[in-house]
C-alpha cells in the first residue's frame, strides 16, 4: 500500500484526548486481549500494523464433496415436497459417487486452491460473477446505506459536512499509513486487504464486465462535493498541510453559495451497467475536458453529497441514503457521505470490492469521534490562500443530454417499483436476549422466519451473510437460515392445537442451535453455496452439466425470498439495501443493546397496498417479563382487531410484514397465553387472524 507523506493533522487534537483518540483509531470493532492471539499467526511488522497478520492468514478451505452434499440436502429438506426431495437426493447421489463428475470437479478445485498465485480460490470468481459482471443498476439493487444518528451540536449542514470530512480524513490517514489496527474474531485476526479499496477508488462501467480502479492516494489529495447536481473538486491538502475543520467548513459554505442546478450527469451512474458503459464513452467523446473531469471524480478520496433535502422520518432518511433523487450522486464510488439541509447525514457504499464490515467500522469511527468529542473540531485558523472549490463543468451535447434524460426516466421507474418499511423497536435488544442464553442473531432470525410463516403459511429460502474474513481475501458465505428445526418451531407456534409452552420454547432453542451451527460452519468456509458455485465454474466446455445443477431445487434453494444481514451500531438509526428477487424481501436488521431495527424493502405488487402505520405498542401489553424466554400472543384491544382487518384487506405488503416482525419480537418477551394468533382458516397464505376470547 502506498504510504502518504503525512506531516500534520487535519484535525486539531485536544491534548487531553490525544491518547484516547489514538487508542480508538487503532481499535478494531471486535477487540482481543493483549497476548491472547490464536496460535499459528505470525506478525510481519514490515507490512505495517494494519497488514501485519495478512500473510499468516489461512487460505479459504475447500470442503469435501461429502460434507457439502450432506449439508445441501439438509438445507433442501424443509423447503421441498417429499417428491422433490427424492429427486434431489438422486441428483446428489449421482454427483458424489466415487469416480464421478463431482470427484473430478473437486480435484480441479483443490488444485486451484494450491496454486501459489491464488490466495483465495473463490475471490476473483466471486467478485466477477456476483458484482462486476452484474448488469442491473447498482442502485437500488447492490449498493447499501447507513443512516447516522443526529448530531445535535451541528445542525448546520456545512458544519456537519466539515466534521464528517475531518473524521473520515483522519481514518484515511490511518489506512494510508498502514497504522489502522487489524480486526479480530475473538482472538483471531481477519483479512484487512479490502481496506485498500476504500479510498481513491472507483468502479468503472465497461462491457462485458466492470472493473475496479485504484488511484495513487499520494497524488490524488482531493474530495468531490456534489450540490444541485454540480461537481466541485476540493483539495484536502494544500502546501503539504491538511485542511482543518474550519477550512473545510469554509469550502463547503462556498459550495452552498455558488451551486446552481446543473445537468444531472451523476444519474448516469444509476443506469444498467451496459447502458452506462456506452453513455460513459459518449460523455468522454462529447468534450475534450470531459475525460479529465471524470478522472477527477473517480480518483477522489471520497465523495460528499450536499443534498437539498430535509428527511425527518426513518423511512424518509432511508430513501435519501439508499438512492436519493439519483442525480446528486456518483454511485460508482465506494464512499459517499450524504449531508442534508437539516443537518441529518448518512452514507451509501458501492459493494463490488468491499463488504459492509470495513465501512461499518469507518462510519462508527466517524460518529464516535464526533459525538463523543474525541477531537477538537473548533480550530478557527483559516489560511488566506485557499482557492475556491473548482467547478467541474462537463460539456453536454444533445446526445449526452438524451442519455441523462433516459437515465432519469429509468431511475424513476426502477425506484418507483419499490416499497420500503422501517421499524424501530425499543422494547429490548441484545442485553435481554443474552439473558435468555440465546444467540441474538439466531433469535432475530427466528423472529423473521415466524413472521414470514405467518404471512405466507410456509418458509422459503433465506439468505444470511456469514463473514469469511478470517481467511486470506475472504468475503462472505451463505448461511441458509431455513432448517427442519426452524420450520418445526414456526409450525408449532402457528398451530392452535399445540398449547404446550415448554415444547414451543424447546423447539425455539433447537431452531436457534441449528442456525448457530450452520452460520458457524459457513464462517469457517464450510458452507454450501460457494463450494457448489466453485465446482460448477470448473465444468469444462463439452462436459455435461451435472444433474445437481439442472435439478430445479438448485436454483430454487438459492432464490432468496428473504435476503438478510445484521450489524450492531449505536451510531446508526438504520441501514439497508434492496431485495434480491422479485417477490422477495431485503431485511437489514440491527441488534443494539436495548433496541432492534428492521429496514425492509420489496418490489410493489399491483394487488398490494400500504395499510395505515401503527406502533406495536398500541396493540400489545407493555408488561415485560425479564425472567426468561417466552413466546407470544396479542391482546384483544380494539387497535389489534382493527389492525387485523386492515391487514386482511391490504393482503401481503412489506409494511405488514415488518409490523409482524416487531410484534413477534415484542410478544416473544411476554408472559402470556401462547395460542391466540393463528392463520386464518381456509385462506391461502395464512393471513393473520386474532382469535376472539
How far is the C-alpha of 126 from the C-alpha of 142, rounded, in Å? 14
Q: Compute, in degrees rounded to 10, the torsion defined by CA atoms 43, 45, 51, 55.
A: -50
**Which DSSP helix (H) or strand (E) runs through 467?**
strand 462-467
Looking at residue 49, the DSSP 8-state letter turns out to be S
Q: Do 418-690 and 15-39+45-52+134-416 have the same topology in CATH?
A: yes
* Beta strands per DSSP E along 170-318: 184-185, 188-189, 201-204, 211-214, 222-227, 230-235, 237-238, 241-242, 303-306
Is pLDDT of 243 > 50?
A: yes
pLDDT band per the 50, 70, 90 thresholds, residue 379: low
pLDDT of residue 669: 58
Non-local CB neighbours of 543 within 8 Å, separated by 6+ positions: 101
Closest by CA to 681, choosing from 489, 487, 460, 496, is 496
pLDDT of residue 660: 65
Do 255 and 339 touch, CB atoms closer than 8 A?
no
pLDDT of residue 380: 76
Is pLDDT of 670 > 90?
A: no
pLDDT of residue 661: 74
Q: Find residue 294's DSSP bridge partners.
A: none
Closest by CA to 369, choosing from 9, 11, 6, is 11
Closest by CA to 519, choosing from 443, 434, 629, is 443
Do 462 and 560 touch, CB atoms closer than 8 A?
yes
Does 103 or 7 have the greater pLDDT score? 103
User: Which residues are identified as catalytic?
Assistant: 351
Among the ranges given (29-43, 275-289, 423-437), the one the predictor scored with the smallest mean pLDDT: 29-43
pLDDT band per the 50, 70, 90 thresholds, residue 19: very low
* Beta strands per DSSP E along 125-216: 144-148, 184-185, 188-189, 201-204, 211-214
Non-local CB neighbours of 214 within 8 Å, separated by 6+ positions: 196, 197, 200, 201
Q: Would you list the domain boundaries of the chain?
A: 15-39+45-52+134-416, 418-690
pLDDT band per the 50, 70, 90 thresholds, residue 488: very high
Q: What is the pLDDT of residues 162-179, one digit of tens each?
A: 999 999 999 999 999 999
Q: Longest C-alpha distance within the chain, in Å? A: 79
Does 45 or 285 have the greater pLDDT score? 285
Do 148 and 574 touch, CB atoms closer than 8 A?
no
Is pLDDT of 463 > 60?
A: yes
Non-local CB neighbours of 58 within 8 Å, separated by 6+ positions: 40, 470, 471, 472
How far is the C-alpha of 41 from the C-alpha of 475, rounded, in Å? 20
Would you say how long the chain is, in residues? 693
Is pLDDT of 560 > 60?
A: yes
C-alpha cell at 303: 465523495
How far is the C-alpha of 100 from the C-alpha of 536, rounded, in Å? 14
Does 686 or 418 have the greater pLDDT score? 418
What is the SS3 assignment for 70-139?
HHHHHHHHHHCCHHHHHHHHHHHHHHHCCCCHHHHHHHHHHHHHCCCCCCCCCHHHHHHHHHHCCCCCHH
Mean pLDDT of the chain: 85
How far is the C-alpha of 349 from the C-alpha of 146, rounded, in Å? 9
pLDDT of residue 218: 95
Is pLDDT of 20 > 50?
A: no
Please give the share of the chain, as a percent, with pLDDT higher than 70: 82
pLDDT band per the 50, 70, 90 thresholds, residue 42: confident
C-alpha cell at 230: 454540480
Do 183 and 189 touch, CB atoms closer than 8 A?
yes
Is pLDDT of 644 > 70?
A: no
* φ/ψ (deg, to 5) at 20: -65, -45
Three-state SS at 337: strand
Do 655 and 610 touch, CB atoms closer than 8 A?
yes
Does 393 or 497 have the greater pLDDT score? 393
Superfamily of domain 15-39+45-52+134-416 in CATH is Choline/Carnitine o-acyltransferase, domain 2 (3.30.559.70)
Among the ranges given (248-252, 472-476, 605-609, 660-664), the one the predictor scored with the smallest mean pLDDT: 605-609
pLDDT of residue 494: 87
Does 384 or 25 have the greater pLDDT score? 384
According to the per-residue pLDDT averaged within each range, which of 192-196, 373-377, 673-677 is highest?
Answer: 192-196
Sign of CA dihedral 418, 335, 523, 555: positive
Exposure string (b/e) for 400-418, b if CB count within 10 Å is 16 or more? beebbeebbebbeebbeeb
Mean pLDDT of 311-329: 97
Q: What is the CATH number of domain 418-690?
A: 3.30.559.10
Non-local CB neighbours of 201 within 8 Å, separated by 6+ positions: 212, 213, 214, 215, 333, 334, 353
Mean pLDDT of 673-681: 35
Mean pLDDT of 197-204: 98
pLDDT of residue 38: 82
Neighbours of 539 (CB within 10 A): 16
Give the strand pairing for 345-349 and 336-339.
antiparallel
pLDDT of residue 396: 98
How far is the C-alpha of 331 from the C-alpha of 251, rounded, in Å? 23
Amino acid at each position: 500500500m502506498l504510504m502518504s507523506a503525512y506531516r500534520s493533522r487535519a484535525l486539531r487534537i485536544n491534548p487531553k484526548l490525544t491518547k484516547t483518540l489514538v487508542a480508538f483509531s487503532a481499535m478494531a470493532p471486535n477487540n482481543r486481549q493483549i497476548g491472547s492471539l490464536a496460535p499459528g499467526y505470525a506478525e510481519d511488522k514490515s507490512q505495517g500494523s494494519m497488514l501485519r497478520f495478512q500473510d499468516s492468514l489461512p487460505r479459504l478451505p475447500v470442503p469435501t464433496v461429502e460434507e457439502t452434499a450432506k449439508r445441501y440436502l439438509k438445507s433442501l429438506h424443509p423447503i421441498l415436497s417429499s417428491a422433490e426431495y427424492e429427486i434431489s437426493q438422486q441428483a446428489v447421489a449421482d454427483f458424489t459417487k466415487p469416480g464421478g463428475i463431482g470427484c473430478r470437479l473437486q480435484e480441479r478445485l483443490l488444485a486451484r486452491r494450491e496454486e501459489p498465485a491464488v490466495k483465495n480460490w473463490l475471490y476473483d470468481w466471486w467478485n466477477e460473477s456476483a458484482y462486476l459482471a452484474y448488469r442491473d443498476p447498482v442502485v437500488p439493487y447492490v449498493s447499501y446505506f447507513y443512516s447516522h444518528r443526529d448530531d445535535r451540536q451541528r445542525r448546520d449542514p456545512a458544519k456537519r459536512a466539515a466534521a464528517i470530512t475531518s473524521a473520515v480524513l483522519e481514518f484515511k490517514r490511518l489506512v494510508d499509513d498502514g497504522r489502522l489496527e487489524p480486526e479480530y474474531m475473538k482472538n483471531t485476526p481477519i483479512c484487512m486487504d479490502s481496506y485498500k479499496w476504500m479510498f481513491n477508488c472507483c468502479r468503472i462501467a465497461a462491457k462485458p464486465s466492470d472493473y475496479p480502479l485504484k488511484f495513487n492516494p499520494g497524488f490524488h489529495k482531493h474530495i468531490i462535493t456534489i450540490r444541485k447536481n454540480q461537481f466541485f473538486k476540493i483539495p484536502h491538502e494544500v502546501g503539504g498541510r491538511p485542511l482543518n475543520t474550519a477550512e473545510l467548513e469554509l469550502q463547503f459554505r462556498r459550495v452552498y453559495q455558488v451551486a446552481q442546478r446543473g445537468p444531472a450527469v451523476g444519474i448516469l451512474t444509476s443506469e444498467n451497467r451496459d447502458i452506462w458503459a456506452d453513455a460513459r464513452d459518449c460523455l468522454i467523446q462529447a468534450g475534450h475536458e470531459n475525460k479529465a473531469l471524470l478522472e477527477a471524480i473517480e480518483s477522489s478520496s471520497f465523495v460528499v453529497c450536499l443534498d437539498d433535502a430535509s428527511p425527518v422520518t426513518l423511512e424518509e432518511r432511508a430513501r435519501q441514503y439508499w438512492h436519493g433523487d439519483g442525480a446528486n450522486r456518483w454511485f460508482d464510488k465506494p464512499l459517499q457521505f450524504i449531508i442534508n439541509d437539516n443537518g441529518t447525514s448518512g452514507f451509501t457504499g458501492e459493494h463490488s470490492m468491499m463488504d459492509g464490515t470495513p465501512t461499518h467500522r469507518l462510519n462508527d469511527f466517524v460518529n464516535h469521534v464526533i459525538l463523543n468529542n474525541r477531537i477538537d473540531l473548533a480550530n478557527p485558523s483559516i489560511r488566506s490562500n485557499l482557492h475556491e472549490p473548482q467547478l467541474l463543468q462537463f460539456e453536454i451535447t444533445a446526445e449526452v443530454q438524451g442519455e441523462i434524460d433516459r437515465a432519469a426516466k429509468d431511475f424513476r421507474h426502477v425506484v418507483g417499483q419499490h416499497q420500503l418499511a422501517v421499524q424501530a423497536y425499543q422494547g429490548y435488544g441484545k442485553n435481554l436476549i443474552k439473558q435468555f442464553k440465546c444467540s441474538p442473531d439466531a433469535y432475530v432470525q427466528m423472529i423473521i422466519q415466524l413472521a414470514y410463516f405467518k404471512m405466507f403459511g410456509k418458509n422459503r429460502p433465506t439468505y444470511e451473510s456469514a463473514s469469511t474474513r478470517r481467511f486470506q481475501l475472504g468475503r462472505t458465505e451463505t448461511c441458509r437460515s431455513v432448517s427442519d428445526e426452524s420450520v418445526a418451531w414456526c409450525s408449532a407456534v402457528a398451530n392452535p392445537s399445540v398449547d404446550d409452552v415448554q415444547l414451543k420454547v424447546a423447539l425455539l432453542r433447537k431452531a436457534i442451535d441449528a442456525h448457530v451451527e450452520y452460520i458457524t460452519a459457513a464462517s469457517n468456509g464450510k458452507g454450501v453455496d460457494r463450494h457448489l458455485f466453485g465446482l460448477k465454474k470448473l465444468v469444462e466446455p463439452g462436459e455435461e452439466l451435472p444433474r445437481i445443477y439442472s435439478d430445479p431445487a438448485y436454483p430454487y434453494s438459492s432464490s432468496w425470498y428473504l435476503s438478510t444481514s445484521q450489524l450492531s451500531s449505536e451510531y446508526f438509526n438504520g441501514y439497508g439495501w434492496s431485495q434480491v428477487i422479485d417477490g422477495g424481501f431485503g431485511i437489514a436488521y440491527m441488534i443494539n443493546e436495548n433496541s432492534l431495527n428492521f429496514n425492509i424493502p420489496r418490489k410493489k405488487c399491483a394487488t398490494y397496498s400500504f395499510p395505515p402505520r401503527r406502533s406495536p405498542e398500541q396493540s400489545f401489553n407493555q408488561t415485560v417479563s425479564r425472567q426468561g424466554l417466552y413466546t407470544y400472543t396479542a391482546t384483544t384491544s380494539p387497535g389489534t382487531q382493527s389492525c387485523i382487518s386492515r391487514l386482511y384487506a391490504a393482503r401481503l405488503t412489506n409494511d405488514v410484514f415488518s409490523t409482524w416482525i416487531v410484534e413477534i419480537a415484542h410478544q416473544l418477551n411476554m408472559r402470556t397465553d401462547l395460542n391466540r394468533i393463528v392463520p386464518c382458516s381456509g385462506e391461502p397464505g395464512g393471513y393473520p387472524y386474532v382469535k376472539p376470547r
